[in-house]
Amino acid sequence: MSSSSREDFVEIFDALDADLDRVCELSFEALTTPELLRMLERPEKVARRLPVAGHGLINQLVQQATPQELGAKLCHALADRLRITRGDANRRVAEAADLGPRRSLTGQPLAPRLTATAAAQRDGQLGAAHVTVIRQFVEQRPCWVDAQTRHRAEADLAKVATQHRPEPLRKLADRLACYLNPDGNFTDEDRARRRGLTLGNQDPDGSVETEPCSMRQGACVIWTSLVVWYPAGFPQAGTL
């Protein structure tokens, strides 16, 4: 990626805005149904490519911005500036770390962590749902799976993503996960990466939706507590 000046940024994004203004003024009444379907692929491809610039901007902020400059943590600052949810801001920061340009400690440029997925996104060949499937697959692999196998699996999924919808891609990712770890062997480190408690927004009635991810022992404690609190009519825990 070549170095760009401030003037380059302004000129390129101004030109992009102007071109998008022209696109928004188009009328499509003269197109046939096959032509409409083909034309829909064009804005879809553009929309898939646009996050690439965001990855670079976010990674540069991670590298150089301080909380004092931002006035808050990066994800909070992004949420306020872009008027998006903090969850969406966190996702964008995480995706930028996986798909955006990186630099070594000595300042040398490095390829994105998910090289094949990043390249396909840059070409507009896969969308946000494809990216989510591939990132979840990579994140959930056991730590004992070697780097070469991880990269090869990620590249295979990225290739399939350029030809299929996210649903078949997820099925393939699940089969590939079983192939790589047929016995379901996970270390304590693997489980620790997934542990947590997600709290949703408070509903008008005061309730808060929660989504825990815990070890088997933690799940037993939760279910035991719920049985004590709700002894009658509480649904069965199922398999723990």
The average pLDDT across 171-196 equals: 74
Lowest-pLDDT range, 118-122, 145-149, 176-180, 220-224?
A: 220-224
Mean pLDDT of the chain: 86
Residue 190 pLDDT exceeds 90: no
Confidence bin at 189 (pLDDT 50/70/90): low
- Per the DSSP assignment, residues forming a β-bridge with 212 are 197
Confidence bin at 6 (pLDDT 50/70/90): confident
Residue 194 pLDDT exceeds 60: no
pLDDT at 239: 46
Of 99, 7, 18, the closest CA to residue 51 belongs to: 99
pLDDT at 57: 95
Give the tens place of pLDDT for each residue, 221-238. 666 766 666 655 555 545
- The domain ranges of the chain are 1-103, 114-186, 195-229
Confidence bin at 240 (pLDDT 50/70/90): very low
The residue assigned the tokens 């990620």 is: 154
Confidence bin at 77 (pLDDT 50/70/90): very high
Confidence bin at 107 (pLDDT 50/70/90): confident
Please give the model's pTM, rounded to 2 decimal places: 0.77
Residue 222 DSSP SS3: helix
Cα-based angle 124, 127, 128 (whole degrees, multiple of 5)? 140
